[in-house]
Amino acid sequence: MNLAAQTSARRLKAYCYSQLVANQIQGVYEARDERMIKYLSKVRRLAGKFKNFKVIRIPRMENAKADVLSKLAASSYTTLGSICMEFLKKSSIENEVVEVMQVEHDPCWMDEIIENLRSGKLPEAKKEARKVIQRAAWFSLDGESLYKRSYTLPYQKYIRPSNAAYTLQETHEGICLEHLGGKALAIKVLLRGLYWPTLRQDALDLVKMCERYQKFSPTIHQPAVSMAPIISPLPTSFRSMGDGHLGPFSPSLRKT
């Protein structure tokens, strides 16, 4: 990318065999390692110099050209022709400064509990203050994260309403890519240690809007209305048909 930027290239298409690197650049995966975060920050900054920048992942077996270029140090330069090369004496991310952006969240009911657990602050109204104290007894604060206590389950991290939709989307068709039903999706989020009050209803609403789930989900054979019992186990029409097939009968010796 540095060489392309020096040649004033406007469009750049890069090929990579690493699924991790390609998906991190495309935004599919999240970079967690400190070293990878620095590389990703530098790549995104360099990508801004191009009008169009694209990363394409190809299988390792089809990456022969890149393998040849990577072995230039052990090759004879006289047989390679004209190739742009750059020797790096040190890592390109050395002394790299990672910019941290402060994200402001929309106000919600969690703010009062967080403030109470952090500094003991309460609303001025006595009724609201009593409500906050009762609710805060079920929560624990770790940094900026709010966790709910439970009798049987581990601590569950509360998700803000602004992040709830993203969490469900990633679990349903993002990183997990399972396309679960509404109830199963809510349970999956719970097993990941996340929770918010409207989790189940939000999961049901998301599944209703998922086109792939609506097309390929198992067919429900349960009737749409409640089942009604049959009052007469043998209708009159069927009883008369049975009598017609059995008769007429011959009289007995006693004429009865």
Counting residues of the chain whose pLDDT is more than 90, the rounded percentage is 0
Both structure tokens of 50: 């191009």
Q: Which of 120, 145, 170 is the last residue of a domain?
A: 145
Chain centre to alpha carbon of residue 109: 24
Q: Give residue 256's pLDDT band: very low, low, confident or very high (50, 70, 90).
A: low
What is the tally of helices (H) and strands (E) in the chain?
Answer: 11, 6
**How many angstroms separate the CA atoms of 133 and 1, rounded?**
56
Counting residues of the chain whose pLDDT is more than 70, the rounded percentage is 71
Tell which wins on pLDDT, 89 or 58. Answer: 58
pLDDT in tens, 166-192: 888 888 776 656 677 888 888 888 888
Chain centre to alpha carbon of residue 81: 48
Whether residue 119 is found in the same domain as residue 65: no
Whether residue 32 is found in the same domain as residue 75: yes
On the question of pLDDT at 51 being above 50, the answer is yes
pLDDT at residue 67, rounded to an integer: 67
pLDDT at residue 105, rounded to an integer: 56
What is the per-residue DSSP string for 114-183? HHHHHH----SSHHHHHHHHHHHTTEEEETTEEEE--SSSPPEEEPPHHHHHHHHHHHHHSSS-----HH
Whether residue 61 is found in the same domain as residue 120: no
Q: Would residue 74 count as lying in a domain?
A: yes
Burial class (CB in 10 A: 0-12, 13-18, 19+), 77: exposed
Q: Would residue 84 count as lying in a domain?
A: no
Whether residue 19 is found in the same domain as residue 53: yes
Q: Would residue 256 count as lying in a domain?
A: no
Q: Would residue 150 count as lying in a domain?
A: no
Whether residue 65 is found in the same domain as residue 26: yes
Both structure tokens of 152: 């049987």
Whether residue 122 is found in the same domain as residue 163: no
Mean pLDDT of the chain: 76
Q: Provide the number of structural domains found in the chain.
A: 3
For residue 136, give the amino acid letter: A
Q: Would residue 255 count as lying in a domain?
A: no
On the question of pLDDT at 36 being above 80, the answer is yes
Q: Would residue 98 count as lying in a domain?
A: no
Whether residue 169 is found in the same domain as residue 138: no
Q: Which of 88, 119, 145 is the last residue of a domain?
A: 145
**How many angstroms separate the CA atoms of 18 and 56, rounded?**
10
pLDDT at residue 68, rounded to an integer: 67
Whether residue 75 is found in the same domain as residue 9: yes
- Domain span including residue 187: 159-218
CATH of the domain at 70: 3.30.420.10
Whether residue 140 is found in the same domain as residue 163: no
Whether residue 110 is found in the same domain as residue 47: no
Q: Would residue 244 count as lying in a domain?
A: no
Q: With CA atoms as reference, report the closest residue to 53 among 9, 98, 23.
A: 9
Q: Would residue 177 count as lying in a domain?
A: yes
Whether residue 60 is found in the same domain as residue 124: no
pLDDT at residue 78, rounded to an integer: 47
Instruction: Report the predicted TM-score, pTM, of the whole model to 2 decimal places.
Output: 0.42
Whether residue 111 is found in the same domain as residue 58: no
